Structure formats: C-alpha cells, structure tokens
C-alpha cells in the first residue's frame, strides 16, 4: 500500500468536507463510492487520518494558528490548511515518525498546492513538531 496515496485520499476528503460542510461520514461514503478500486489498506489509513483530522479540529486548528505568524487560519489556502490539519492529526493520533509526516506533507503540498505551499507547510509543521516534542502544547 502507498501511504502517500492514502494521505492524498485523506486530503481530498478533508477538502471536500470543508467545501461542502457535509458530515464526515457522508463525505467518506461518497468519496469511497467514487474510488471503489482503492486498496483496502489505503482506505483504512485514509479513513483513519480523515476521521482523526475531524475529531479534534479545534485543538488541531489551535496548534496551527499559534504558528501562523500574521496569518489567520481562514486566510490560508484550503489545500494548505488541510495538509496542515492532516499532518497535525498524524502527529497527535498516529505513530508515524514526525519527520516522515513532515516529508509526506511537503510532497503532498507540492503536488496539490501552490509553488510556495511546500515551504509554508514545512515551516508550520516543523514549529508544531518542536512544540509537541518539548511537551509544551498549550491547551
């Protein structure tokens, strides 16, 4: 299974959910209906990442916002915002090494975002990684 592909699926679902404001379960069901050929492992990992990204969005968004100097979260492009949410969710809820999470997020931002997305995502996720590693996340 390609975890990168699963992360791309999760990003697409997060983007769709944000745009449509539909419940996560509806987004996930319609997404998998349209991607019926996706491997079971990719579905499982993408579904977990999507669900975790929605589960504690206020905490995730708070972590992101603290590290977005002079940017309001709502003003960040939807792609970059959701790549960041997905990365932070993976930091918080899954066992993936943080350097792998950042590397994957950079590549996905490069593929789906703008020419500056990869650098932006890298900077924000690295700052959040440092905060979490230092154990000083503010509630």
Q: What is the DSSP string of 81-118?
A: HHHHHHHHHHHHHS---HHHHHHHHHHHHHHHS-TTHH
Rounded-to-5 percentages of helix, strand, coil across the chain: 75, 0, 25
For residue 139, the model assigns a pLDDT of 46
For residue 70 the two structure tokens come to 């002079």
The closest alpha carbon to 77, from 14, 3, 139, 6, belongs to 14
The tens digit of pLDDT for each residue in 48-65 reads 999 999 999 999 999 999
Low-confidence ranges of the chain (pLDDT < 70): 1, 136-139
For residues 9 and 25, give the distance between their C-alpha atoms in angstroms, rounded to a whole number.
14
For residues 91 and 100, give the distance between their C-alpha atoms in angstroms, rounded to a whole number.
10
- Taking the CA atoms of the chain, what radius of gyration do you get in angstroms? 14
For residue 25 the two structure tokens come to 């379960």
pTM for the model stands at 0.94
Provide the 8-state DSSP code for 126. Answer: H
For residue 27 the two structure tokens come to 């987004």
Domains and CATH numbers, the chain: 3-133 (1.10.940.10)
With a CB cutoff of 8 Å and minimum separation 6, the contacts of 119 are none
**C-alpha 116: how far from chain center:** 17
């Amino acid at each position: 299974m390609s975890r990168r592909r699963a992360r791309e699926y999760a990003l697409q679902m997060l983007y769709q959910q944000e745009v449509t404001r539909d419940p996560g379960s509806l987004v996930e069901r319609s997404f998998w209906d349209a991607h019926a050929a996706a491997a079971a492992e990719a579905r499982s990992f993408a579904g977990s990442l999507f669900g975790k990204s929605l589960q504690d969005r206020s905490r995730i968004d708070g972590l992101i916002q603290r590290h977005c100097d002079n940017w309001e979260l709502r003003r960040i492009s939807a792609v970059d915002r959701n790549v960041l949410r997905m990365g932070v969710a993976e930091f918080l809820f899954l066992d993936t090494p943080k350097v792998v999470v950042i590397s994957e997020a950079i590549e996905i931002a490069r593929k789906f975002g703008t020419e500056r997305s990869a650098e932006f995502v890298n900077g924000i996720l690295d700052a959040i990684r440092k905060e979490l590693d230092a154990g000083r996340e503010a509630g």
